[in-house]
């Protein structure tokens, strides 16, 4: 029994599964590289800053060919417009009309855009292009810097348009 505990301990220290003896624990560096989640309240936003005026250039070079002029849509979905359409029979879901948080825009772009080269933008460029999209949606001014402090403060029009998922396993349903 003592021996088994020792084996388990050593295996755990190496990050190997005791059963198969494969793999290793990720290093702190590796975990850090993957742990890039930005939460709705802004936790996880990195240092850096950018304005819409700066982001226009990033947008035109890296995003426009898919999302169209000024984000109004091209071969890929529009990310600008649709204001006031969400509660109508023809909702146009964009960042401006639909998304509840501005913070997750940063997360999404950093994680997934440009579609074929995600991860290529610097933090400053990601803030700037986020600012550009918010500005095109009429939510901030062209020279308002977006950063870890200001991005969580942007008021998104559809913030209250979502309801908590009442299924019991989400932990958010009505209390019994």
- 9 vs 11: CA distance, rounded Å: 5
CA–CA distance, 45 with 127 (Å, rounded to integer): 10
**Smallest separation (angstroms) from ligand HEC to the CB of 92:** 10
CA dist., res. 75 & res. 67, Å (int): 7
CB-nearer residue toward ligand HEC: 126 or 148: 126
Query: Which residues contribute to the site for ligand HEC (CB under 6 A)?
Result: 62-63, 65-67, 76-77, 79, 93-95, 105, 108-109, 113-116, 121, 129
Task: Give the whole-angstrom CA distance, residue 99 versus residue 161.
Answer: 9
Find out whether 136 and 71 touch, Cβ atoms under 8 Å: yes
Residue whose CB is less far from ligand HEC, 11 or 66: 66
Taking the complex as a whole, the smallest distance from the CB of residue 147 to ligand HEC amounts, in Å, to 17
Least CB distance from residue 40 to ligand HEC, whole Å? 16
Nearer to ligand HEC, 148 or 158 (CB): 158
**Chain center to CA of 106:** 5
Q: How far is the CB of 89 from ligand HEC (least distance, A)?
A: 19
Closer residue to ligand HEC, CB minimum distance, 53 or 108? 108
**Residues 101, 102, 105, CA angle at the centre, nearest 5°?**
105
CA terminus-to-terminus distance, the chain: 45
CB of 58 to ligand HEC, least distance (A): 6
C-beta closer to ligand HEC: residue 16 or 93: 93
């Amino acid at each position: 029994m003592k021996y088994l505990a020792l084996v388990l301990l050593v295996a755990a220290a190496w990050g190997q599964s005791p059963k198969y003896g494969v793999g290793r624990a990720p290093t702190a560096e590796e975990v850090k590289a993957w742990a890039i989640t930005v939460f709705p309240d802004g936790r996880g936003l990195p240092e850096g800053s950018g304005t819409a005026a700066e982001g226009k250039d990033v947008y035109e070079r890296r995003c426009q060919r898919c999302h169209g002029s000024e984000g109004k849509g091209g071969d890929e979905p529009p990310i600008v417009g649709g204001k006031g359409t969400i509660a109508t029979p023809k909702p146009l879901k964009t960042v401006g009309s639909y998304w509840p948080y501005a913070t997750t825009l940063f997360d999404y772009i950093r994680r997934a855009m440009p579609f074929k080269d995600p991860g290529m933008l610097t933090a400053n460029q990601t803030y700037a292009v986020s600012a550009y999209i918010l500005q095109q949606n009429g939510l901030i001014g062209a020279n308002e810097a977006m950063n870890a402090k200001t991005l969580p403060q942007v008021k998104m029009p559809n913030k209250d348009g979502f309801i908590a998922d009442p299924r019991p396993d989400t932990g958010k349903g009505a209390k019994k």
